[in-house]
Structure 1
Amino acid sequence: MTNERVYKMAFSTVYPMLVQKAERKGRTKSEVDAVICWLTGYDDSGLQAQIVKNTDYETFFNEAPQINPNAVKISGVICGHRVEEIKDPLMQKIRWLDKLVDELAKGKSIEKVLGK
């Protein structure tokens, strides 16, 4: 799948998959929302508005109020790529989100996940 195709995916399509991934491991939708809001700066209503508007991934991140300055500390492998080595800024933000939800699903406490 090309980056451009990923960027044009509707966030409202991806969001339920992120929630399902976490819920399968005993985590909650509110924890996933907390991770998303921590990373992007959206509040709950802003996050829901993006979902309702059916924005694509690119727009979702471009309209994010403020990417958390600590996001650059997120490291590790997701989808076979080290997130800290991804050159494309938008793809890196997408993979940061994937990594945070993955860590949550692996059983790490929300405090440890957001402490990155």
Structure 2
Amino acid sequence: MKTTPEHNKRVAEMKFFSVWPHYVTKIEKKGRTIEELYQVIEWLTGFNEKKTQKLIDEKVTFKTFFERANLNPNAHLIKGVICGYRIEEIDNPLTQKARYLDKLIDELAKGRKMHKILREV
């Protein structure tokens, strides 16, 4: 799916720390734990809880966040629609990675089993 340059720029410049509280609220409201949120982030990016917190403290952008990440080789298995975009059709790599994260957090909040969220076979 074609995203606009403006949309891609907005995603790249968005600060991870400013979105973090929304992630926490979303999952906790649905009875999931922050430990599970960290587990999902670590699976996707390789960032453990300490590293994630350091990135929050540094107030990095999503661009920097994903530049430092070691994306899971199974991330391409994340499919579906999030924020009005079909993830597998997003043509901008950074925007696609940000939507991968959104989709995983959405699945966590919806109560999906962790082994399915983490694309374990």
Q: TM-score range by the shorter chain?
A: over 0.9
Partner of 1:73: 77
| Count of residues paired in the alignment | 115
Superposed displacement of residue 42, structure 1: 1.0
Show the 5 A alignment for 1:1-116: 2-64=7-69, 66-115=70-119
Task: Tell me how large the CA RMSD over aligned residues is.
Answer: 1.2
Runs of 4+ in structure 1 over 2 Å off: none
Equivalent AA in structure 2 for residue 45 of structure 1: K
Superposed displacement of residue 41, structure 1: 0.8
Normalising by structure 1, report the TM-score. 0.94
Superposed displacement of residue 6, structure 1: 2.1
Q: What is the distance in 1 between the residues matched to 2:29 and 2:78?
A: 23
Equivalent AA in structure 2 for residue 110 of structure 1: M
Normalising by structure 2, report the TM-score. 0.90
Equivalent AA in structure 2 for residue 26 of structure 1: G
Give ranges in structure 1 of 5+ residues lacking alignment.
none
Identity of aligned residues (%): 50
Q: What is the distance in 2 between the residues matched to 1:79 and 1:32?
A: 19
Q: What is the distance in 1 between the residues matched to 2:108 and 2:48?
A: 19
Q: What is the distance in 1 between the residues matched to 2:112 and 2:77?
A: 16
Equivalent AA in structure 2 for residue 39 of structure 1: L
